[in-house]
Amino acid sequence: MELQTFWFCVIALLWLGYLFLEGFDFGVGMLLPVLGRGEEQRRVLINTIGPVWDGNEVWVIVAVGSMFAAFPGWYASLLSTAYLPFTVLLLMLIGRGVAFEYRGKVDSPRWRRTWDAVIVLASWVSPLMIGLVLSATVFGLPLDAGGDRVGSPLVILTLPNVIGALAVLGFSLLHGAAFLSLKTEGEIRERSRGLALRYGPVLLLPLAALMLLAQLREGTTWTWVPLVVALVAALAGLARQGRWRDGQAFALQGVALAAVVVTLFGALWPNVLPSTLNPAWSLSVAETASSPYTLMVVSWVAAFGTPAVMVYQGWTYWVFRKRISTAHIPPVHAPSPGGAH
Amino acid sequence: MVPVELLDIARWQFGITTVYHFLMVPLTIGLAILVAGMQTAWYRTGNTRYLKMTKFWGKLMLVNFAMGVVTGIVQEFQFGMAWSQYSRFVGDVFGAPLAMEGIVAFFVESTFLGLWIFGWERLSKGVHLACAWAFSLATVASAYFILAANSWMQHPVGVEMVDGKPQLTSIWAVLTNSTVLAAFPHTVFGCFAVAGTFLMGIGGWKVWKKDRQRRATESEPKSMADSASRPAGDDEDRKLWHKSMRLGAWVGVVAFAGLAISGDFQGKLMFQQQPMKMASAEALCHTEQPASFSIFAYGDVSQPDCESVKSFTVPYVLSYLANGDFTSEVEGVQELVPEYQQKYGTHLPDDPRLGEFAGAPIKYTPNLPATYWGFRFMIGFGAVAAASAAAVLWFTRGGRFPEGRWWGPVAIANIATPFLGNIFGWVFTELGRQPFVVAPNPSSDDKVWMFTAQAVSPGVSPGEMLTSLIALTSVYAVLAVVEIFLMVRFARGGVEAVMPPEPDEDDEDSDVLSFAY
C-alpha cells in the first residue's frame, strides 16, 4: 500500500518536473515571434534553451513510462482514451525537436522561417494537449467497465478539460517570459519582463479556475492549503518580477506550479482516472497498481536514478548559467550550397 | 468493438513507426561510440586530424540523433494508445524495463548530449570528452533495456500467472533472459555494421572525389602551375577521408564477424524457443532428418503445404544451424501446427471484447514469404556489406584508392546494405512471432502468452487509428527527405563547414558562445 502511494507521488513529481522544465521552454517557443525581433534576437531566444530542452523533454517520457511500470491500467486507459490529443502531442514534439536541431544547419532565411513556424506551432499546441489530458485524468473520462472509452474520439473536449488546456498554456507562456527575463540581458530581458508583468494575471486566470474547479468537484479539506499556497506564490512571483528579482519570480512560479500539481493529484487520489459513466468503473490507485515486487524494483531504480538526474541536470543549468544577448551569438556556420569545392 | 481493420491499421502503424525508428537508432549508437573514440584519440594525441574527424562525423551523428530521439517518443506512447489490452496484460513486467530505460539511460543521453553540443570550450577538454562517453554509452544501455522488454515478448521468463495476468517474480530473470543475452550483442554488432559502412561510404566517396579532381587538374594544360599551387591542406584532407573510410571498414569487418557468430547463437536459441518462427524462416513444410538449408526458392511459399515450391537446398546444413548437429531432426510447419493447436488452443476465446475476433480460429503459421525472404535478405544484405568492407580493406591498403568513375556512387549506395539487413532482420523476427504478441515459452508451464488480436485497444476507432497512421507516416516521410538532404549537404561541405572559424587574436576573452543554434 505504501509503495502504491509512493508511486502515485512519484508520478505527480515527474509531471511537475515536466511542466516546470518544459513549461518554460514551451513558453520561449511561443514567444519566438513576439519577443524575437529579427534573426539575431530569435537566436538569442532559442539559445537560452538550446542546451537543455532535450533533457527537459525526457521528463514526459519518464512520467509516461513510469505510469506504464507502476500503474499499467492508468497508462493504458488514459493513452487509448485520449488517443487523438496524444497523437497531436507526438506530432508536435517530433516537429519541435527536429526544428531546434535543424534550424541553424542551413544558412537560408526561408529554411529558418519554416522551422521557426514549426517551433511556434508546436510550442503553442503541445501545452494545450498536455493540459487537456492531465485535466481529463482528474475530471474523468467516459470509461466502460474494462477501462476503455465509450463515445467519440472527441469526448475529451469538455469545458473543465479545455480550461485545463488553457491553464497549462497560460502558465507556460508566463513561465517562458520569466525564464527569458532571467536568462537574457538588454532589450529582450526588458520586453519579456514587461510582458510577464502586464499579462501575468490574465495568463494565470485559467490555472486558478482549474484549481478551483478541481477543488470544488473532487477536492478534500486539506487540498485547500496548496490551493491558497499556489495563489499566494503566483502573486508574490509577479510582485518580485516588478522589483527586478527575476530569479525569485521564476522560483515562485515553480512553487505555485508545485502547489497546483499537489491540488490536482490530491483531488484525484485515491483514483487515477475516474469514469464519468459509473463511479464503480473508475480506475483507482489500488486496482491499477503493479505488484508489490514490481513497485519495489522500480522504486530502487528511481531512488538512485532520480536524484542523479536532478544533480546532473542541475549541473547543466549551472554550466550554462550566464545571461545571453545578441552580443554572444556567433555568426551562422553552415555548409554552403555547392559544397566546399 | 475491435473490427478486423483496427488490428491491421494498428499493426501497420507499429511496423512503420518501429522500422523507421530503427533506421535512426543503429546509426546513432554506432556513430556515437565511434565519435567518442575519435575525440578520445584527439584528447590523447592532440592531432588536429582527430578533432576534424570528431567534428565532421559528430555533426552527421547529430543530424541523425535528433530524429532517433523524437521517433522514440512515439514508441513509448503507442503501447498505451493503440495496444491498451496488451499494456494491461503485460504492464507488471513490461513497463519496468521501459521506466528503467528512461531513468537510467535516456536522461543521461539527452542531458549529456546537450552538454556535448554546447560545451565545446565551455567545459574542460576532459569533462567534455566524458560527456561524449556518457551519452554514447547511454545509447547502448538504452538498447539493452528495450531489447530486454522485446525479448520478454519473444520468450517470457521471471513471471507467474496471477488472476490471468503475468506477475513479475524476478527482474533479474527478465534482464538476463537468454533471448536478450543473444539479441543484445547481435543488435549492437548490427549498429556498428551500420556505422562502419556509413564511414566507409562517405569517406570513400570523398577520397574518390578528391582523386578525380586531382586527375582533372593534372590533365589540364597548365597543370604544373596548378599542382604546385594546390594547397597543402588538400593532401591532409584526403588522408582524413581515407583514414575514416578504413576505420569504417575495420569496424565493419569486426561487426560482421560478430553478427555471424551472435546470429548463429541466436538462431539455435530460436529453434528451441520459437520453432514455428524458424520453420517459417526456412519454409520448412515437413519435418526433415537430416534437414537441408534452402538458399533460394521459387513458387508460392505462402502455401503451408508447399506443393508449388521448388527450392535450392544444401543438405545437412539446416540441422547444423538448428542444433549444432548435422544429422538432427528439424520440425516442419505441418507437424508444428497440431502441436501448437494442442498446447495453445484452436480458437480465440469467445470474449465479446474481442469483437470480430471473438471465437475466431487461430492461424499458427506466420506470413511465410515475409519470414522466408526476410531471413534470407537479412543474411544476404549483411553478406554484401561484409564483403564490401573486406574488399575496401584490401583495395585501399597503403593509401590506395581504385580508379573508376563508379566507385564513388557505389560507396554511397553501399551505405544502404546494413540498414536493409537490420530492417529485414526485425521484420522477420517480429512477423515470425505471429500470431502471438507475447510468444509462449515452451520450456515453462506458466501459460503466459497473448495473441496479437487480443492486444489492440478496444475503445479506439479505426478512423482515429487511420488518422494517426497517415499523419505519422506523412511526417516521417517528409523528415526522411530533410535528414538525407542535410546529410548530403554536410557530407559535401566536408571539414570546413563543421570546424569553427579561427578566433581573432584580440578576441581571446570575448563572450561569444563557442556554439549556438
Are the beta carbons of B108 and A338 separated by less than 8 Å?
A: no
Contacts of B514 in chain A (CB under 8 A): 330
Sequence-distant (6+) residues with CB within 8 A of A56 are A18, A21, A22, A25, A49
pLDDT tens sequence across B421-435: 999 999 999 998 989
Closest-CA residue of A relative to B213 is: A341
pLDDT of residue A177: 94
- Grid cell for residue B299: 513458387
Three-state secondary-structure class, residue B293: strand
Please state, in angstroms and as integers, the Cα–Cα distance from residue B380 to each residue in B97, B102, B256, B266, B411, following that order: 33, 35, 12, 17, 18
Indicate yes or no: CB of B80 within 8 angstroms of CB of A324.
no
Check B92 against A294: CB less than 8 A apart. yes
Cis peptide before B435, with omega less than 30 degrees from 0? yes
B112 pLDDT band, cuts 50/70/90, is very high
B98 → closest Cβ in A68, A293, A334: A68
The secondary structure of B137-166 as a DSSP string is HHHHHHHHHHHHHHHHHHS--SEEEETTEE
pLDDT in tens, B488-516: 999 998 888 888 776 555 555 567 888 88
The predicted structure's pLDDT at residue B1: 62
Q: Which residue has the higher pLDDT, B368 or A336?
A: B368
Largest alpha-carbon pair distance within chain A? 73
Collapse the DSSP code of B165 into the 3-class scheme (helix H, G, I; strand E, B; otherwise coil) and give the result.
strand
C-alpha cell at A131: 493540459
Instruction: From chain B, pick out residues whose CB is under 8 angstroms from the CB of A69.
Output: 91, 95-96, 98-99
- Confirm or reject contact between A100 and chain B (CB < 8 A): yes
Residue of B nearest to A297 (CA): B171
Q: Chain B: give the shortest CA distance to residue A224, in Å.
A: 33
A62 touches chain B (CB under 8 A): yes
For residue A121 the three cell numbers come to 506551432
Chain A: give the shortest CA distance to residue B467, in Å: 9
User: What distance in Å separates residue B361's CA from the closest CA in chain A?
Assistant: 24
Give bridge partners of residue B312 from the DSSP assignment: B296
Most A-contacting residue of B52, B62, B87 (CB-CB within 10 A), to test interface? B87
A contacts of B515 (beta carbons < 8 Å)? 330
How high is the pLDDT of residue B303?
A: 66
Residue B365: predicted pLDDT: 85
User: What's the pLDDT tens digit per position in A273-294?
Assistant: 999 999 999 999 999 999 999 9
Residue A273 contacts B where some CB pair is shorter than 8 Å: no
- Burial of residue B222 (CB within 10 Å: 0-12, 13-18, 19+) is exposed
**CB-based contact B471 A58, cutoff 8 Å:** no
| CB-based contact A327 B512, cutoff 8 Å | yes
Give the distance from residue A257's alpha carbon to the nearest chain B alpha carbon, in angstroms: 22
CB nearest to A333's CB, from B69, B468, B501? B501
User: Is B514 within 8 Å of A330 when comparing Cβ atoms?
Assistant: yes
- The model's pLDDT over B8-43, given as tens digits with 9 standing for 90+, comes to 999 999 999 999 999 999 999 999 999 999 999 999
Q: Which residue(s) pair with A324 in the sheet? A: A184
Would you say B145 and B98 are in contact if contact means Cβ atoms under 8 Å apart? yes
Provide the terminal-to-terminal Cα distance of chain B, rounded to the nearest Å: 48
On chain A, the residues whose CB falls within 8 A of the CB of B28 are none
CB atoms within 10 A of CB B195: 27
Distances in whole angstroms, Cα of residue B71 to Cα of each of A317, B19, B128, B217: 26, 10, 27, 45
Q: Please state the rounded mean pLDDT for residues B360-380.
A: 87
Nearest-by-Cβ selection for B486 from A53, A87, A102? A102
Give the minimum alpha-carbon distance from B389 to chain A in angstroms, rounded to a whole number. Answer: 27
Residue among B1, B69, B515 minimizing CB distance to A97? B69
| CA A106 from centre of chain | 30
Q: Do A50 and B489 touch (CB under 8 A)?
A: no
Which chain A residues contact residue B114 at CB under 8 A?
50-55, 316
Question: Percent of chain B scored above 70 by pLDDT?
Answer: 93
Q: Is B77 in Cβ contact with A64 (below 8 Å)?
A: yes
Say which residue the cell 591532409 belongs to: B236
Is A278 in CB contact (< 8 Å) with chain B?
no
Q: Quick one: cell of B76?
A: 513509448
Kindly list the residues from chain A whose CB atom is less than 8 angstroms away from the CB atom of residue B493. 334-336, 339-340
Model ipTM over 0.95: no
Question: Which of chain A's residues have a Cβ under 8 Å away from the Cβ of B484?
Answer: none
Please state, in angstroms and rounded to a whole number, the distance separating the CA atoms of residues B141 and B32: 13
Residues of B in contact with A78 (CB under 8 A): 80
Q: Terminus-to-terminus CA distance in chain A, angstroms? A: 68
> Which grid cell sits at A281?
468503473
Assess A101–B contact: CB distance below 8 Å, yes or no: yes
B-chain residues near A145 (CB < 8 A):
none
pLDDT digits (tens, 9 = 90+) for B327-355: 888 888 888 888 888 888 888 888 888 88
Res A341: pLDDT: 43
**Interchain contact, A50 vs B167, CB within 8 Å:** no
Positions in chain A whose pLDDT score sits under 70: 1, 337-341
Residue A294 near chain B (CB below 8 Å): yes
Q: How long a stretch of residues is chain B?
A: 517
In the block, cell 592532440 appears at B46
Q: Which residue has the cell 549506395?
A: B413
What are the structural domain ranges in chain A? Answer: 2-199
CB-based contact A319 B66, cutoff 8 Å: no
- The candidate with the shortest Cα–Cα distance to B388, out of B357, B366, B359, B421, is B421
| Cβ pair A316:B512 closer than 8 A | no
Chain B residue with minimal CA distance to A54?
B110
CB B313: neighbour CB atoms within 10 A? Answer: 18
Nearest CA in chain B to A290: B92
Which residues on B lie below 8 Å from A65 (Cβ)?
Answer: 76, 95, 98-99, 101-102
- Quick check: B114 and A341 CB within 8 A? no
Q: Which three cell numbers stand for residue B438?
A: 507475447
The answer, yes or no, to whether residue B254 has pLDDT greater than 90, is yes
Residues B38-65: tens digit of each pLDDT:
999 999 999 999 999 999 999 999 999 9
Residue of chain A minimizing CA distance to B106: A58
Q: Would you state the pLDDT for residue B121?
A: 86
Average pLDDT in the B256-281 region? 88
Per-residue pLDDT at B175:
94
Q: Cα distance from A16 to chain B (closest Cα, Å)? A: 16
Contact A259, A235 (CB under 8 A): no
Show residues of chain B in contact with A47, CB under 8 Å: 513, 516-517
- So what's the pLDDT on residue B45? 94
Pick from A43, A44, A59, A87 the residue to mutate for testing the B interface (most B CBs within 10 Å). Answer: A87
Q: Which residue of A has its CA nearest to B234?
A: A341
Please report residues of B whose CB lies closer than 8 A to that of A327.
Answer: 511-512
Cβ-Cβ contacts under 8 Å, B457 against chain A: 76, 80, 83, 148
Identify which of A98-112, A121-135, B254-268, B451-465 has the greatest average pLDDT. Answer: A121-135
pLDDT score recorded for residue B230: 54
Q: What phi and psi values does residue B124 have, to the nearest 5 degrees? A: -65, 160
Phi and psi (nearest 5°) for B220? -70, 155
User: Which residue among B70, B72, B123 places its CB closest to the CB of A319?
Assistant: B123
Largest CA distance in chain B: 86
CA distance B118 to A320: 9
Chain A residues touching B461 at Cβ < 8 A = 153
pLDDT at B217 over 90: no
Whole-angstrom distance, CA of residue B472 vs CA of residue B16: 9
Helix, strand, or coil (residue A184): strand
How big is the CA angle at B453 (ends B450 and B455), to the nearest 5 degrees?
60
Cell numbers that stand for A76 in this block: 493504458
pLDDT tens digits along B177-194: 999 999 999 999 999 999
